[in-house]
Amino acid sequence: MKQFSFTINGNQYDVEIKSVDENKAEVEVNGFTYSVETDKVLQSVSKTPKLVVPQAVPSTDITPTEHKTSAPAPVVPAAPKGGSGKATIKSPLPGIILDVFVKVGDTIKIGDKLCCLEAMKMENNINSDKAGTITKMHIEKGSTVMEGDPMIEIG
């Protein structure tokens, strides 16, 4: 960045400021690197832009009866939507259905394995987050699904 030459008490010091970040600077004095902290915020002498990464915010487009992950749902009774008591299991990731473990008319409970989804070269078991009866199947073995696509309806 910047180079300086100082003479202090007859001793010569070659100083190079390597980097500056708020009140901390990395400096090299006669070939030795030091980390220096100041009382004030330092102005960076570099015109290189500083990359600022925005904070990741998780998606909040799920309801208590529609979990987007394949992890077992907590054992909490699901509130029926609009009094209908139905739930739709949606695909958490885009992928291919490797196997389907239920069919229309099957009675299931919370945590039962519904299907196996291959996504990003990994097998993901999709479990039920609601107890009930399978009322409609939108998938079959070999189906391709995108994230958020309905797969199975539970009544």
What DSSP line would sit under 9-56, residue for residue?
A: TTEEEEEEEEEEETTEEEEEETTEEEEEE-SSPPPP---SPPP-PPPP
Residue 72 lies in a domain: no
Cβ neighbors of 97 (< 8 A, separation 6 or more) are 115, 116, 117, 118, 139, 140, 141, 142, 143, 144, 145, 151
Q: Would you give the distance in Å from CA 125 to the centre of its chain? A: 19
pLDDT confidence of residue 77 = 45
110-146 confidence digits (pLDDT tens)? 889 999 999 888 998 999 888 999 999 999 999 999 9
Tokens representing 45?
A: 């002498």
Pick the residue with more confidence: 28 or 60? 28
Pick the residue with more confidence: 39 or 146? 146
**Interatomic CA distance for residues 140 and 23, integer angstroms:** 60
Domain count, the chain: 2
pLDDT tops 70 at residue 28: yes
Residue 70 lies in a domain: no
The pTM of the full predicted model, rounded to 2 decimals, is 0.45
% of the chain surpassing 70 pLDDT: 71
Range of the domain at 105: 87-154
pLDDT tops 70 at residue 151: yes
Band (72; pLDDT cuts 50, 70, 90): low
CATH number at residue 139: 2.40.50.100
Strands laid side by side in the 2-8 sheet: 2-8, 11-21, 24-29, 32-37
